[in-house]
Amino acid sequence: MDYQEIFERVESKYVLTRKQYMEIMTMIHGRIKPDQFPHSDITSIYFDTDDYRLIRASLDKNGYREKLRLRSYGVKNGQSPVFMEIKKKYKGVTYKRRQEMTYDQSRDYMLFDVIPLDTQIMKEIDYLKNRKQQLNPKVLISYQRDSWSGRDDQNLRITFDSDIRFSMTNMLLTNTEPEMKLTDGDTVIMEIKTITAMPLWLTTILNELKIYPGNFSKYGQIYEKYLAKGALKWNSYSHQYIPNSISQATYFAQQAH
């Protein structure tokens, strides 16, 4: 598969009802086409400090936001591709750098800090995770995504996310049905991604339908609704990626059975 490693673009999010989703799809269908990967089952693990410094800074909207996550588009076995990603946002522009690795390599890195590849992006990820911030997995989020691109504009990408679920305890990328729901069946998150300005035809349609941009961070919503209010208590040793006392030999012996 051909996966891009470095992105720089403008992103706008919209919280839609199912009715609004059907309306906008009806109006833009002739101008878009299925993306390279038209449907994805996305599962991501977000990393943060024990006092949630990254997500708190992001929600403060101080002009600079930074996230670290491990993402998969469906894990079938240990050789399935997954991605460690650094996502930064500054003055409305999103910058993303990601490193592809296998699922097995990602587990080795999470458990034992075994760096899988000697690349510049991997060095940046490791610096952020272990030296700059001391980041650990905090929440797993999964959802369904439909992806479209502009029929005449390859720099335009529109995605629709639904059935957003999360877990604080079972943080394995193979967990595609986390136990907690973040959105109901009537909610669709639309994201419009462009290199420069949004096309005029799309702006006109959004205005006609009275669909306006809004802030929606999946991890941010979970933090504000649950973590910040103490509804979920976090134990930094309660998940699979940070065993409290387990040797590398013991771990792999357990995995063999």
Is residue 255 predicted with pLDDT exceeding 80? no
Of 199, 195, 209, 210, nearest to 31 (Cα)? 199
Residue type at position 84:
M
C-beta of residue 49 within 8 angstroms of C-beta of residue 130: no
pLDDT band, very low/low/confident/very high, at 251 (cuts 50, 70, 90): very low
Does the structural domain 6-255 have CATH classification 3.40.1110.10? no
Containing 239, the helix (H) or strand (E) segment is none
Nearest to 129 by CA among 88, 89, 96, 85: 85
183-235 per-position pLDDT tens digit: 999 999 999 999 878 899 999 999 999 999 988 999 999 999 988 875 444 43
Collapsing DSSP to helix, strand or coil, 85 comes out as: strand
- Secondary structure (H, E, C), 2-23: CCCCEEEEEEEEEEEEHHHHHH
The predicted structure's pLDDT at residue 3: 55
What is the CB-side half-sphere exposure of residue 30 using CA atoms within 13 A? 3
| Each residue's pLDDT tens digit, 48-86 | 998 899 998 888 876 678 899 999 998 889 999 999 999
DSSP 171-201: --TT--S-SEESS-TTEEEEEEEESSSPPHH
SS3 219: helix
pLDDT tens sequence across 146-164: 999 999 988 899 999 999 9
DSSP category for residue 213: -
User: What does the alpha-carbon distance between residue 166 and residue 141 come to, in Å, rounded to a whole number?
Assistant: 4
